[in-house]
Amino acid sequence: QVFEGDAAEWAAKTLRRQLKIEKNKTGQSPSSSSKGDSNGYDYNNFDILLVDPPRDGLSSTVCDMAMKGTFSHVIYVSCGRRALLRDLAILCDVGGFDVADLAVIDLFPGTDAVESLVHLKRR
């Protein structure tokens, strides 16, 4: 399945729907001891994580999700060079990913703004 739109909005809607389904099955809300993190998010059913964060980079929540989930690949689209370097240090040094490929795309010729596309693969 491919999802288009705001990832945070999609995640919130998906979580609400899943919690409702679980509550209907069991009669109670799932506990935080189920798969996923303490917020009840389950990151164990996906192979690829696509992120396109704002110029400030990934939030700590998204970095944690990438590292704790079962993602084999992370596709990172970035317009913030400093934030990209910071996030790659976290994901590669701590998170167990390696840079498999990267590309720099000049979408705005004549400016210093570039988009970076990085493919990370879990070791």
The active-site residue out of 15, 67, 75, 79 is 79
Using CA of residue 51, residue 83, residue 67, residue 40, what is the dihedral sign?
A: negative
Query: 8: part of which helix (H) or strand (E)?
Result: helix 7-26
Rounded CA-CA distance 97/85 in Å is 14
Specify whether 92 is catalytic.
no
Annotated catalytic residues are 79
